[in-house]
Structure 1
Amino acid sequence: MFDIRPYIKPLAIAAAVVLVWGGGFYSGQHVAATAATVRLQSVQLTHEQERSRIATAKADELAAALADQQRLADHANKLGWRLLQTQGQLVQSQAQLRERIADATRNDGQAWTGLGPDGLRVYRAALGYTESGVSAADAGDAAKAGQTTAPSTGIPPADLIAHAVDYGRWCQELEAKFDAHAALQGGH
C-alpha cells in the first residue's frame, strides 16, 4: 500500500500556493478593473461638468447678445420715432412760415428795395435763426441812394422768403437726420 501522508504536506502547500496565487491574481484583476471604472467615471464626470460649464457660458453670452440687440433695436425705434416727430414739426412750422409770407410782404409794403423788417423776420425764422434783432426800419433803406433799384426789378420779396422756407426745411431735416444718426452711432 501506498502511504500518502508524506505527500500530503507538500500537496497541501502546493494547493495553498495555487489558491493564494490564483485568488490573488483574480483579486488583483478585480481591483484593477474597479480602479479603471472609477477613473473612467471620474473622467466622464469631469467632462460632463466642463460641457455644462461651456453650455452655461454660451447661454449667458447669447442672452447678453440678445439683450444688447433688443436694447439697440429699442434705441433705434425711439430715434426713428423722434425723427418722424421732428419731421412732422418741421412740416407744420414750414406751413406756418408760408402763411406768414403774405402778411410780411403786405406789412412791409412795396417801398422796400428788398426784404422789409417783417419779411426779414420770416426769412430768418425759415432758416432756423431767431427773429429777434431785426428792428423796424424806414421803407426803402439802403446804404447809398444809388444802391436802390426800382421795385419792379429783381426777385420779389415773397419769392425770396419762399426760398428761405424751402431751404430752411431742407437744412433742418438734414440736421435732424444727422442728430438721429449720431445718437444711434453713439448709443445715446
Structure 2
Amino acid sequence: MEPDPDDPNVAVDANGFRFRRVVTRVEMVVEGLTYDVETTSYEELSDEEYCRRMYALLRDYRREEEEEAAAAAEDNTSRGCKRARLSASDDAVRGLPEARAGGAGECAVCLQDFGAEDTLRAMPCAHAFHQDCILRWLRVNHVCPLCRHALPTQQDEEEDEDDDSEDDDDSDEDDD
C-alpha cells in the first residue's frame, strides 16, 4: 500500500521515494552514513524491516563512535601523562634563586610551615618552596605546583642542542 501523498506525515526523498516523515527524522540522525539495503527501495521494505535495518545501522554507528572515542581518550591520556612527567631541565633548576622564609607561609609541596632559617627556592613565578621539596618536585614535573608556570624541560634542552648542532653543521657547510 502506497502512502497518501496528501498526508502531512509523508515525505519524498531525493530519489523520489515516499516514506513516512518519522523515517525521515531517523535518516537525519544518521546523515552522511551509507547503509547497504541490498538495492531494495524504502517503499519495498515493510515498516518493521526498515526500522530493524535502521536500528542495526544506528547500533553499529554508535559502537564505532564509542570505540573511536575510547581510542582517542586513551591516546590523550597517554600523551597527557608523558607531558606531565617531563622533568625540568637541570639548568632551569640550578637557576632557581635561593630565598629565606623569615617564618611566614607554608610550602605547597609538603604543606609544612616555613621555618625562619629554612632555605627556599623561588620559581620564576615568585612562588617559593622548601629547597628539598621543589627539587624533588621538579625531578618529575616541570611546572610550578601552585600556578603551573612551566620551566624548560630536559626535552626542550635536548631539542635546542640538536638545533644548535644542525646550525653548526649548516655554518660549516657555508664555510666550504
More strand by share: 2
Pairwise same-fold verdict (TM > 0.5): no
**TM-score where L is the length of structure 2:** 0.33
More helix by share: 1
Q: Which has the larger radius of gyration?
A: 1
Q: Name the structure, 1 or 2, with higher relative contact order (CA <8 Å, separation 6+).
A: 1
